[in-house]
Structure 1
């Protein structure tokens, strides 16, 4: 039995769609009605990381699990302890590329490092997926593109080797279903580094309409982030942007093409497949 967490999120949705037919699959979600695209035979269960009984039910009989948590806190620890008790053999964890950067010491990166260390000491087999930023983060610009033809972002000239979430999902499927991935940490990037200004230009070309890039200064960015996130998370995101401006996220890694047996997807390819989100038609 394979358990998938985070199935209503960007990567989890793509993962469940890619699981081979015939596998015993269980999908765990706080809101099962939001799960879409899971195999017809998959079992969808309601569970929460903070509810030990629901976690125990979700993990019963599970041999391999995909762990994706979106909240800084104790969710990962609760899951790992419950997985140990349930006899899970292998956990594939979605982490972040920043954990390997010695200059990254923000709250989010420290949390991911702590989870990785917890898994390493758990006695279970583990695989760590460490992606760069998701190409789908560009969807946060969709509303302003549709309404005003503008993209607003901090440090528009800084480059990030962002990765297609569909590629991350495919890598996760391989780690869950193939031998040879236990004890491995995979840095996952796209095929090249691209800046927000360059992404804006590509979206404009694909949409066939002019788009304007508007650079946010640090204070405007801080205000915008503080309206959406707790202060420590907002500061962590700002620190991450500073590291990107210094070039820390521009490196391209060959791991993903090696895992998938094909080139990693480009931002243009991702954008072509999601163009309707940016279109006012």
Structure 2
């Protein structure tokens, strides 16, 4: 039995879809209504990291688990690992972040990821760490302004990031979850090239067949924009990460996706082509004067 946490999230849902149909798969979610009908053939269980009995039920009979946690406070990873040991789980595959390798990264999010990696390495279970760069799907946050204003707004538009397609992360995760030989390994996952927001804007414009404008946000403007959807400590961590990106800390490209899957990592153009509908202006077109 394979348990997938975060199954309704960006990577988790692709992991579930990519697992072979002949395997027993269980997905853990806090909101079963959200998962209803999403994963035919998988068992859906209600579970919450803050509810140890629910973790025990979710982990019963599980051999391998895919662990995704997003809170930067609390002890979600510790609770899960403790429950996994008690349930007799053999292996945990953890979704971490590439920033843990950057000695200059001392923000809250990176501190938490490093602590969770240390926890997993010392827990007595087999472990594998997946460390992706930023998701290409983060650019979906521009979809509304592209559709209605033909505009992308972002901080530090010329800073490069070797962002990765979440589907590639998921494909690597499926390999690690279903194959032997990955215990004790940590894999950094990137796309095939380092991209800037300005470059992504140009690519989206070419695919859409319309000119797009790029507007650079100031740090204060970015703080306000991020504050609309993230707690303040997370906002400050993201801004610190943007500063490191501007300094070139996120531009290095790895060939791990190719090595583990046998094919090249997907480009941003491929990702954007497959998600172009999200950016397409409504009938009647966008108003470029807005």
TM-score between the two structures when normalised by the length of structure 1: 0.98
Residues of 1 paired with 2:36 and 2:152: CA distance?
A: 30
Q: 1:37 to 1:136 in 2, by over 3 A?
A: farther
Distance in 2, Cα, partners of 1:45 & 1:185:
29
Instruction: Provide the C-alpha distance between the structure 2 equivalents of 1:116 and 1:38, rounded to a whole number of angstroms.
Output: 30
Once the two structures are superposed, the pairs formed by residues 262-277 of structure 1 within 5 Å of their partners are 262-277=263-278
Q: In the alignment, is the contact (CA less than 8 A) between 1:16 and 1:38 conserved in 2? A: no
Other structure's SS at 1:10 match: coil
Task: Report the CA distance shift for 1:36/1:131 in structure 2 as closer, same or farther (over 3 A).
Answer: farther
- Distance in structure 2 (CA, Å) of the matches to 1:36 and 1:170: 23
Give 3-state SS (helix, strand or coil) of 2:157's partner.
coil
| Corresponding position of 2:19 | 19
CA 1:130–1:36 in 2, change beyond 3 Å: closer, same or farther?
Answer: farther
2:131 and 2:255 map into 1 onto residues whose CA distance is 13
Q: Which runs of 5+ in 2 are unaligned?
A: 283-290
Q: Which residue of 1 aligns with 2:55?
A: 55
Q: Please name the residue that 2:212 is paired with.
A: 211
**1-side partners of 2:275 and 2:37: how far apart?**
17
Q: Secondary structure at the match of 1:186?
A: strand
Query: Using the alignment, how far apart are the partners of 2:153 and 2:23 within structure 1?
Result: 43
Distance 1:260 1:177, change over 3 A: same
The answer to whether the Cα contact below 8 Å between 1:106 and 1:239 also exists between their aligned partners in 2 is yes
- Normalising by structure 2, report the TM-score: 0.95
Distance 1:211 1:185 in 2: 38
Give the secondary-structure state (helix, strand or coil) at the position aligned to 2:27: strand
- Corresponding residue of 2:28: 28
The CA RMSD over aligned residues, in Å, is: 1.0
In the alignment, the residues of structure 1 paired with residue 38 and residue 113 of structure 2 have an alpha-carbon distance, to the nearest angstrom, of 27
Q: Quote the residue 2:65 is aligned against.
A: 65
Determine if the alignment matches structure 1 residue 111 to structure 2 residue 112: yes
Q: CA deviation at 1:40?
A: 2.9
Q: Which residue of structure 2 lines up, in the alignment, with residue 241 of structure 1?
A: 242
Equivalence for 2:187: 186
Bigger Cα displacement from structure 2, 215-224 vs 205-214 = 215-224
